Amino acid sequence: MRVGIIGCGRIAQVHLSALRALPWVEVVGICDANEEAARNTAQRFGVEKTYTSADDLLRQAEPQAVHILTPPHTHAALARRAIEAECHVLVEKPLTMEVAEAEELCTLAAQKRVSLCVDHNRLFDPVVKKARAMVRAGKIGHVIAVDAYQGFQRQALLDSAARGTPQDALEAFYNLAIHPAYLQLAFLGHVRHIEVVGRKTGRLGGDFPEECSVLMEGEHALGHLRFSVDIQPYLNAVHIYGTEGSLFLNLNTMTMVSHTASRLPKLIQKGAYNLIESWQLLTAAVRNTTLMAMRRLTTYPGIAEVIRRFYTSLEQGMPPPVTGEEGCEAVRLLDIIYSQAGHGTDSEESINKVANHAGHGLLRVVR
C-alpha cells in the first residue's frame, strides 16, 4: 500500500512511527509547505521523496492512501483533493471545522468508493478500550450517565491566542474539544437534546467562553460535557455511571478506577472503596511504568491502533475504525455547542444552525 503524508508537525512523527510497524505499507512521499520540515522528516524516517504541494504529491508519488496531518482549517480542502484523486484518506481530528464540509467529504468518498477515516484516537487508548469492553459486557449494568471533562494547558492556549486571532484560539479549542465530544457519542449514541451554559473570563478573546458546560440526552444515557481553560492542573477524564457500578478514566495518566455495587455495611464500604481505589491505581502505575520502560506504551497509543485498524480494514474491504459519518457527527456536536455558547441561542446565526441540525434528526436543542 503506497502512502503519502501531508503535514510534518509533531503528530506526523507519531503517524510515521506507527506506519513503520506495518510491513505491507510504504510511505512514498512526504509533503509540507515548509520544505525544510518535509526534508528533515523524510530524512528521519527514510522516505525518499518530499513535496511542498499536495497536488504534486498526489500526481507524482501516486499514493493509494493519504494521511492529512495539517491544522484543522485545512483538512477539508486537502482531504477533498486526495479523495478526488481516488485515495483512501485518514484525517486527523477534527474531520473539518464546518459541518457542511464534513458532509461533503463523506458524500464524495462514497461516490469515489474510497475509505474516509478520522483519527478519534482516544477511543482506542487502552483504558477506553477496556472501559468500552466492560460496558458491552454489562459489568456496570446499564449506563445511566457519562461525564466527560476536557481541560487545557492554559499557558499554551493563551500563547496561541496571543500570537494569532480569535479564530486561531477557536481552532485550538476545536482541536482538543473534539476528544470529549466523540467519547460522549460513543457511550450516549445520537444526541437528542442539548443545552449549553458558558461563562467568559476574557482570557482568550473571541466569541467562545473559556468555561463551558453542556448537558445532553442521548439514545442510551445522559451526558455532561465540561470544558475549562482556567481550572488547573488540567485534566482529561471520563466518568461512566451504571446501574451496577461506575468507571473513572483518567486519560492523562492512562488509569481507570472501577467500582461495583456492594452489599457491605456502609461504614465498611467507605474503607473498602479507599483500598480498592488505591490498589487499582498502584497496579496501573506499576503496569504503565513497566510498559513505558519496555517501550510498549507510547504517548499516543490510540493513534497507532487507529492506523493499524485502518490499513487492516482496507485489506479486508471493511469499514474504517472511525467512519467519516462518525467524524461528521462529532463536528456537528461541537458546532451546535459553539452556536449556543459562542453566539447565544437568540442570535440569528445560532437559530439557523439549530434548525439545520434538527433537520438531520441528530440534535434537537432545548432552550
pLDDT for 33-86, tens place per residue?
A: 999 999 999 999 999 999 999 999 999 999 999 999 999 999 999 999 999 999
Strand partners, 249: 238, 256
CB-based burial, 255-288: b 16+ in 10 Å, e otherwise: bbbbbeeeeeeeeeeeeeeeebeeebeeebeeeb
Residue 319 clears pLDDT 90, i.e. is over it = yes
Q: Determine the residue type at 48.
A: E
* Contact of 179 with 93, CB cutoff 8 Å: yes
SS3 assignment, position 218:
strand
Residue 353 clears pLDDT 60, i.e. is over it = no
The x, y and z cell numbers of residue 32, run together, are 509540507
- Domain residue spans in the chain? 2-120+304-321
* Contact of 121 with 302, CB cutoff 8 Å: yes
Angle, alpha carbons 171-176-180 (nearest 5°):
135
pLDDT tens-digit readout, 215-248: 999 999 999 999 888 888 888 999 999 999 999 9
pLDDT band for position 22 (cuts 50, 70, 90): very high
In angstroms, the Cα distances linking 228 to 13, 79, 94, 171, 266 are 28, 31, 19, 15, 34
Q: State how far the Cα of 239 lies from the Cα of 250, in Å rounded to an integer.
A: 9
DSSP code of 74?
G
SS3 assignment, position 307:
helix
> What integer pLDDT is reported at residue 342 of this predicted model?
63
- Which top CATH class is 2-120+304-321? alpha beta
Q: State how far the Cα of 27 lies from the Cα of 19, in Å rounded to an integer.
A: 8
The x, y and z cell numbers of residue 322, run together, are 472511525
- Picking from 52, 1, 62, 2, the residue whose alpha carbon sits closest to that of residue 30 is 52
* Contact of 154 with 94, CB cutoff 8 Å: no
Residue 320 clears pLDDT 70, i.e. is over it = yes
> What integer pLDDT is reported at residue 153 of this predicted model?
76
Contacts of 247 (CB under 8 A, 6+ apart): 131, 134, 135, 140, 238, 239, 240, 256, 257, 258
Which stretches of the chain are assigned E, i.e. beta strand?
Answer: 2-6, 26-31, 50-51, 65-68, 88-92, 116-119, 143-151, 191-199, 211-218, 222-228, 236-242, 245-250, 255-260, 364-365
For 13-52, give the DSSP string. Answer: HHHHHHHHT-TT-EEEEEE-SSHHHHHHHHHHHT---EES
The x, y and z cell numbers of residue 256, run together, are 481507570
> What integer pLDDT is reported at residue 354 of this predicted model?
42
> What integer pLDDT is reported at residue 358 of this predicted model?
46
pLDDT band for position 291 (cuts 50, 70, 90): confident
Mean pLDDT computed over every residue of the chain: 88
